[in-house]
Amino acid sequence: MATTNQIQQTLKFTFGIVPIVAGLDKFTNLLTNWVDYLNPGLKGMLPVDALVFMKIVGVIEIVAGIIVLVRPLIGGYIVMLWLICIALQLIVSGHYLDVAVRDLVMAVSAYTLVQLTPAPAGKTNFATR
């Protein structure tokens, strides 16, 4: 049976690597056409072209993934909130509801990463209070 540390490490690498890959794909669109996932109402409100916006999203995802790898306690919260925001955007648009549900499940998993990550020495993990 896996130890708590092994589970924490698996979640850390998952939520570190997957956002980096997804972020990089915003520049290549090999996995999907990411602009299609934007709420059509949101596209009209953007101050930049939707493709440029998705590249900005890609940079944010890459940074979030790096933070998870370096500081999983903070990064887990960032990824959790990011996934919730994506899911809400998809729910409001009424499209890709299956993806929204998966993103919410992944957000719960990112929260689990936070719960399994020990606080640095001398600090309290406020998530476990």
Radius of gyration of the chain (CA): 16
What is the 8-class DSSP label of residue 37? Answer: G
Of 16, 8, 17, whose CA–CA distance to 113 is shortest? 8
Residue 127 has pLDDT above 80, yes or no: no
Closest CA to 64 of 28, 8, 24: 24
Q: How confident is the model at residue 126 (pLDDT cuts 50, 70, 90)?
A: low
Token pair 């998993």 is found at 109
Determine which of 44-58, 95-109, 114-128 has the lowest per-residue pLDDT on average.
Answer: 114-128
Res. 129: pLDDT tops 80: no
Rounded CA-CA distance 34/30 in Å is 10
Average pLDDT over residues 70-81: 97
Lowest-pLDDT range, 7-11, 39-43, 64-68, 108-112?
39-43
State residue 37's pLDDT score.
84
CA distance 91 to 108: 17
- Could you give the CA distance from residue 97 to residue 8 in angstroms, rounded to a whole number? 28
Does the predicted TM-score (pTM) go above 0.95? no
